[in-house]
A and B are shown apart, each in its own frame.
Chain A
């Protein structure tokens, strides 16, 4: 019969309307009608969506204990591999042009990432041999100035390892284990300088 299809469809919309209310869901439970949905949206600025642990948005630089103890050694691998080329790194050098070392490592003088170019692909994290760069979950990075607000400098990118452990416990634990193993290996090869270091 003409019109039954339309009426059936209206039944579906009516059910969806009913199940957005608590009394409606109670009623449907009473009638033993499955209602898996209900309210599925959140009112954004007041309530924030819960993200899963791997949620990634924008990179940050990890330091251990104090902000001058950066893991980054300014090797520029991420700068080369970044697909949209949004990372800019210059190594810290003294007046004679020799690299300055702190905590036995070279360090970046300038480390800029352009927020408006970054496409959150996580390739910089994958290629970093020192686990110095990781992805942050902070996504409210809007600003007004194209270069004043959108280009993040080194001091704005710094985050402690504790912060990393807090936002991504599983991934941070893996990274910490890997770094501890590396440090143990380095200590072992330093103790026996005559033997060649394992590659």
Chain B
């Protein structure tokens, strides 16, 4: 028997337990929220995950080579294949002490920042879809995403499952005409963002639905080790591109946009501002991109040609990057064989999801859907 609550004199009501998901259009994959409701208000919320578990870490330990892990990292976060590849590459480079070629570094930065544009554009579209604006903002977002995916296909041969970044650089050099097309896209992107903002930022309905909804206090965000745009929306200045300065990020001038109170609107707006900063990085990287050389990453290509001969020395390494969703880390332990002995992924989606209950308590059911959308998760990365 559930505890009784009183809403009107003489009228007894009960708390009601509702399952949202696992198959539900707004759960962004296969995910279940067990919500305990008092009328429309959420009193308790329990996230249930694991429906999409694919055992990637164990498969890698059981018999994949280091290169064999790359196609699986594409499928962690299917919006951000390039950054997932980059994270694993950086961990392997740390483990084996591989130098990265100059042009390879620039190509990686271009791909990583394009990925950030893809992710933030798409997640903003999905957030609006969850809010009830069916179609329009999401399709505008996907129209732009499509242009970037065409660039990915041009370079890597696949739109989403790129499998392009390799230890030491990238798998193959950029094709002819890529830089020009990419430059045209980057030049045109601010216009799309202006249009997108005209559609969304000042819209009163969106402000009503998102402002002061799902507030994440700075202290809680730090305690729960939240990373990425979600942490920065709460006003914490922590961006691994700045903190670690990995790859060649220190060479570029860009700001880290911060939110103020950490509500859903801040999380939306920080992503918009981050896209504008990504465009600045892309402009600089495209300008400074070194000339094509005969071999883009001799070492990386050699490893790709014969994965069984690549045996990193015994030891362990943790490589981390600022993926669009937060800190993406790969922990590798090598026992000197061609396979990783231990392979662990610190997935930003999974850790950012842990504060879902704190954000949703006291809000309505419809707000919980928006809050989940603003956390920006991909269930394939949550469950791995």
Q: Mark B178-218, 1 if CB is under 8 A from A, else 0.
A: 00000000001001000100111111110100000000000
Min CB–CB distance A60 → chain B (angstroms): 14
Task: Give every chain A residue within 8 A of B129 (Cβ-Cβ).
Answer: none
Is A104 located at the chain interface by the 8 A CB criterion?
A: no
Q: Does B14 contact A (CB under 8 A)?
A: no
- Is B71 touching A123 in the complex (CB atoms < 8 A)? yes
A102 CA to B75 CA in the complex, in Å?
41
User: Is B255 among interface residues, defined by CB-CB distance under 8 A?
Assistant: no
**Residues A120 and B158 in contact, CB atoms below 8 Å apart:** yes
Whether A83 contacts B72 by the Cβ 8 Å rule is: yes
Is A16 part of the binding interface, using a Cβ–Cβ cutoff of 8 Å? yes
CB of B30, distance to nearest CB on chain A (Å)? 20
Q: Does A13 contact B307, Cβ atoms closer than 8 Å?
A: no
B198, A8: Cβ atoms under 8 Å?
yes
B154 contacts A52, C-beta separation under 8 Å: yes
B153 within 8 A of A: yes
Looking across the interface, which residue of chain B has its beta carbon closest to that of A40?
B143
Number of interface residues of A (CB under 8 A): 34
Within 8 A of B (CB), among A9-50: 9, 11-13, 16, 34, 36-37, 40
Contact status B154-A81, CB under 8 Å: no
Which residue of B has the minimal Cβ distance to A85?
B63
Cα separation A16 to B196 with both chains bound (whole Å): 11
A51-B308 Cα distance, complex, nearest whole Å: 33
Known: A52-B153, A121-B161. A36 touches B191 (CB 8 A): yes
Of A12, A55, A135, the residue contacting B199 (CB under 8 A) is A12
* CB neighbours of B347 from chain A (8 A): none
Is the CB of B155 closer than 8 A to any CB of chain A? yes
Interface string of B55-87 (1 = CB under 8 A from A): 000000000110111111011000000000000
User: What string of 1s and 0s marks CB contacts (under 8 Å) between A43-78 and chain B?
Assistant: 000000001111110000000000000000000000
A6–B308 contact, CB under 8 A?
no
In the assembled complex, the Cα of A51 lies from the Cα of B3 at a distance in Å of 61
Q: Are A37 and B305 in contact (CB under 8 A)?
A: no
Q: Please tell me which one of the listed residues B75, B198, B306 contacts residue A12 in the complex, with CB atoms under 8 A apart.
A: B198
Is B140 within 8 A of A16, CB to CB?
yes
Q: Which residues of A contact B188 (CB under 8 A)?
A: 36
B153 and A51: CB pair below 8 A?
Answer: yes
Which of B75, B155, B203 is the one whose CB lies under 8 Å from A6? B203
Judge whether A52 and B175 touch: CB under 8 Å: yes
A4 at the interface (CB under 8 A from B): yes
Give every chain A residue within 8 A of B64 (Cβ-Cβ).
Answer: 83
The answer to whether B199 touches A122 (Cβ under 8 A) is no
Cβ-defined contact, A127 with B305, below 8 A: yes
Q: How far is the CA of A171 from the CA of B64 in the complex (A)?
A: 27
- Interface contact A6-B71, CB-CB below 8 Å: no
| Distance in angstroms between the alpha carbons of A2 and B208 in the assembled complex | 11
B143 near A3 with CB under 8 A, answer: no
Chain A residue with Cβ nearest B184: A36
At the interface, yes or no: B336 with Cβ under 8 Å from chain A?
no
Known: A81-B65, A120-B158. A52 touches B150 (CB 8 A): yes
Judged by a CB distance under 8 angstroms, whether A126 is at the interface is yes
Confirm or deny: B156 has a beta carbon within 8 angstroms of a beta carbon on chain A. yes
CB distance from A118 to the nearest CB of B (A): 10
CA distance A130 to B306 in the complex (A): 13
Judging by beta carbons under 8 Å apart, are A55 and B157 in contact? yes
CA distance A108 to B305 in the complex (A): 21
The verdict on B21 contacting chain A, using a C-beta distance below 8 Å, is no
Best-surrounded residue of A4, A56, A126, A170 (most CB of chain B within 10 A): A126
Given known A121-B161, A123-B68, contact A11–B198 (CB-CB < 8 A): yes
Q: Check if B384 is an interface residue, CB within 8 A of chain A.
A: no
Chain A residues in 8 Å Cβ range of B153: 51-52, 54-55
Q: Check A54–B195 contact: CB distance below 8 A.
A: no
Instruction: Give Cα distance in the complex from A121 to B70, angstroms.
Output: 9
Contacts of B75 in A (CB 8 A): 119
Chain B contacts of A2 at CB under 8 A? 204
Q: Residue-by-residue, is B156-187 near A (CB-CB < 8 Å gives 1, otherwise 0)? A: 11100101000000010001000000000000
A72 to B304, CA, bound (A): 19
Looking at A56, A83, A127, which has the most chain B CB atoms within 10 Å of its CB? Answer: A83
Q: Is the CB of B71 within 8 A of A121?
A: yes
Chain A residues contacting B163 (CB-CB under 8 Å) are: 121-123
Contact residues in B for A129 (Cβ distance below 8 Å): 305
Interface residues of B in 299-320 (CB under 8 A from A): 304-308
* A-B residue pairs, 4 tightest by C-beta: A5-B202, A121-B71, A54-B157, A56-B157
**Could you list which residues of chain A lie within 8 angstroms of chain B, going by C-beta atoms?**
2-6, 8-9, 11-13, 16, 34, 36-37, 40, 51-56, 80-81, 83, 119-123, 126-127, 129, 135, 170
Residue pairs across A and B with Cβ atoms less than 8 A apart, 22 shown, are: A6-B203, A6-B205, A9-B203, A13-B199, A34-B191, A36-B188, A51-B153, A52-B153, A52-B154, A52-B157, A55-B153, A56-B157, A81-B67, A81-B68, A81-B308, A83-B68, A83-B71, A119-B71, A120-B158, A121-B70, A123-B307, A126-B67
Given contacts A5-B202, A6-B204, A36-B191, 5 further A-B contacts (CB under 8 A): A9-B198, A54-B153, A83-B71, A123-B304, A126-B171
